[in-house]
Amino acid sequence: MKIVVALLSSMIICGLLTLPIASAADRPPAWAYPLNNPDYKPPVDDGKLLRVPDSMAGYTWTQLRDRFIAPV
């Protein structure tokens, strides 16, 4: 019976020790997700093709910012 009581009490103590750790991770860290500047405006796309040296592929700024474009 003493073993059962010791086992249960050690399980309860281990469970209670993890509560502060779990509650500390409720929000993501502020340094990882900075706030965006509310006055920010992206530069206007002038339609000019931008190229990497020695490459035939050319893209506009709008195409470069598109995360779903498949480059050729």
Domain ranges of the chain: 1-26
Are 43 and 62 a contacting pair, CB within 8 Å? no
Q: Is the pLDDT score of 1 beyond 70?
A: yes
pLDDT at position 25, please? 59
| Rounded Cα gap, residues 72 and 63, in angstroms | 12
Task: Give the model confidence (pLDDT) of 15-64 as tens digits.
Answer: 777 766 655 556 777 888 888 888 988 888 899 999 989 988 999 999 98
- Residues contacting 64, CB < 8 A, separation 6+: 50
Amino acid 49: pLDDT: 92
- DSSP annotation of 47 reads -
Helices (H) and strands (E) in the chain, counts: 3, 2
**Considering the entire predicted model, what is its pTM?**
0.43
